[in-house]
Amino acid sequence: MAQFGLPVINPSVKDGEGLAYDLNAWAQAIHSGHSGGSRPSYITGGMTWVKNSSNPWQIYIFDGTDDALTGTLDITTNTYTPVGGGGGGTGVPGYVTDLSYSYTYGLGNMPTTNLLKITGGITAVDNTAEANEVEGPGVFVKDMRASTVAGSTGGSVNSCLFSHTVTRNGLQNSYEWNGLFILDMLSSGPGEHCASYSQANAYGTSATWGAVNQVDDMRYDQSDNGLLWGLEVDCFVSGSGKTNSAGIVVVAGDSKKVFTGTASATTSVVDRGVALVGNEGVCKFKTGFWATNYINEGLQLYDYSGVATSNITLQGSHTRAAITSRFNTAPYGLDFTESNTFTTAAIGLAGTHTIKFGANTLGASGTDLMWNGVPVGGGGGSGSSIVTPGSIAQFGSYLSDPNHALLTIPANKRLVFNKEATSNDARGIQIIKNLSAATGGGGYTSHSLSMELSTGASYAGREHVQDIIVTHNAPDVGGANPVVATSYSMTKNSTAGVYGTVTSLYDNTNVADQNNIMQGVNITLWSGGTDGFLARNGLVINSGKNVAGATTYTGRGIFLSNGAGAGYSRGIEVGAPVVDSAFLFSGSIHSAATETAIIRSTGTAHKGINFRNSSHSSGLAMDIAANDAYAVNGTAVLKRQAGDWCKVIGSTSTYRNYFGGDFNLNNVNTSFVLATTADLQSHVMALYRILFTYINDARFHGQIGGNPNSTANASFQTPPT
């Protein structure tokens, strides 16, 4: 490895020994390719030299001005890589250290002999095409019929037309398509046009493919980088598209009929329209068939002949499910509503198979329908209930809405659920509607259970939309086992409004003063004797708070409200004999309340309390306790005193006596010992004040005339202070 420029030899000067030295040094330079760390100083245009300062070696050719890199040589692997093929060396564009390239294919080695190599491409122009011309401007024909040998080495691939494109290992920005066929179809005639067509005619028994597209992952690094698709079919349409467009169309036909005009003796059958074949144990499909962004159906199968065995057949072992549904939204997971009548069943299961709903299973055991292994009816076998809505249970849709499936009961039939238990028992019928994962629904009203009843204009039967009848025969165990005919429970976990029970009655007759009954809720309590413990109540409303909450109040125990143009003739009416009280308040006002009243009026009315039309046998319209007082605007003005006398109390500005105190002779000192004139005067003044108070109270109660607050009408002057 050397660089040496052969100098100009002058025979008259250069002797034999010097000539030998120059020739030997020049030979080393030639034999080493003029190798060195930099360009030789004696280089001339067209000369090739090798830069060997690092591995891989870089091979240059000098164009008279610059060095052009032609390729690299890896002296460790003895691999030569031309420029554009990648190669090695950090100074080479597209350098990749973990990939080598060879012309080796999965089906064998392709022939590399070049009969004709054209570097500039071929342009074929045919301007003389006739209407009935069958040949194109370029035709390649390979006729092997004259060959007398069985072919070359087994596994080799011989081709009539071979095209090969190699990109470099570095950044490749262009789209390299090894084969490109473009057809600009401008004709609107009846002819059919095809951008690419391949046809293989099998006359022998050898395996034959019409077309094979193969893509290989040659990185072997198990990475998931970049697309790797065996075949991509693009079908571009505009607007709403074409009803007869399709990405892939597989047509099965009778080859004899096509080529000879005579059909085969029996119906021709292609074994599989589309076959996905995974290399067992080595390579499999993660998803066998994947359809996305479709409008009507992801998969539609139609048998025109009407003799197909099945549309879809599933075979093999699956670790999860034969069919897995992962919908964001869909009206149905599986829809048979548009199907014609099935001769046997819409869905057929083996006797050991079940249908799974979450953690629950529905299946069959003989003639029994089983839910989680428990007979629930359907076949009438042992242990099952009997469904008898006619000879065949009929299922229909409500108002043609498939989301409202119901059981239709024929006329004069009824549906009976009879559940029996011999020990502790759970629910007879449980309806669960889980909306925890649902979204939206603003303003929409839905129901977990909906019952509707409609009668005709000529039907006069007494119809109950719901009847709940409970017969309680269990013994009393200290009040711990009461039977509840109807129980409603609701848990409020948000700020949205909730109602425990809502009952709405609509009178659409618009006739005033009707005698027909219209009652929102009618509660009848059939009692079996006297109630000494207040245990029998027509309506009980309890107010409570949850464990974690602070002190809370229910706004109103009973609230009567009315809409515009409507009102109540009576807010609350007690029309039955009352043993104790028509209204009894036996509790106490909460200590934190700001208004402490048993009955409080905040509206407008002619009278606050009206007893004018009442007839009380005792003559008492109102009875209050001895310690209670009558107040106006929160100020007590009348209170009962000893001797059944009512005292006027309050401020001096509100019709009362001037000195306050009780009208009670006991207030006069019991001792009348007159020690001095002053003592006599004080006793007289005390008596005068008591008489003045008595006269004013008598006038206030209307027993005598005069205004107690007017000195002009007073019987005598105001006593001094």
- 3-state SS, 694-712, equals HHHHHHHCCCCCCCCCCCC
Is residue 56 reached through a cis peptide bond, with omega within 30 degrees of 0 on the bond before it? yes
Listed residue (375, 379, 456, 463) closest to 419, CA to CA: 375
- pLDDT value of residue 291: 86
The residue type found at 628 is: D
Residue 645, φ and ψ in degrees, nearest 5: -105, 140
Q: What is the pTM (predicted TM-score) of this model?
A: 0.40
For residues 42 and 15, the answer to whether their CB atoms sit within 8 Å is no
For 692, the enclosing helix (H) or strand (E) is: helix 677-700
d(CA 697, CA 663): 9
Residue 677, φ and ψ in degrees, nearest 5: -65, -35
Burial of 100 (0-12, 13-18, 19+ CB in 10 A): middle
pLDDT averaged over 10-residue windows placed end to end, the chain, 721 residues:
71 76 78 85 87 90 89 88 54 40 43 54 59 63 70 67 75 80 84 87 88 84 81 87 85 89 90 84 84 84 82 83 83 82 83 86 80 61 38 42 56 77 81 85 81 88 88 80 85 86 85 77 83 77 76 81 84 83 80 73 83 77 76 71 56 39 45 61 74 70 57 54 58
Buried b (16+ CB within 10 A) or exposed e, 443-472: eeeeeeeeeeeeeeeeeeeeeeeeeeeeee
Task: Copy the structure tokens of residue 654.
Answer: 């509100």
* Strand 67-74 relative to strand 79-82, pairing: antiparallel
109 three-class SS: coil
Contacts of 96 (CB under 8 A, 6+ apart): 86, 88, 169, 170
- pLDDT value of residue 569: 84
Please provide the size of the chain in residues.
Answer: 721
d(CA 360, CA 432): 13
* Strand 48-51 relative to strand 401-408, pairing: unpaired
- pLDDT value of residue 85: 44
Residue 405, φ and ψ in degrees, nearest 5: -85, 135
Task: Copy the structure tokens of residue 236.
Answer: 């571009």
- Residue ranges with strand state E in 1-116: 48-51, 57-62, 67-74, 79-82
The residue type found at 655 is: Y
- pLDDT value of residue 177: 86
Q: Give the C-alpha distances (Å, rounded to integers) separating 368 from 87, 248, 349, 356, 378.
A: 74, 47, 14, 17, 6
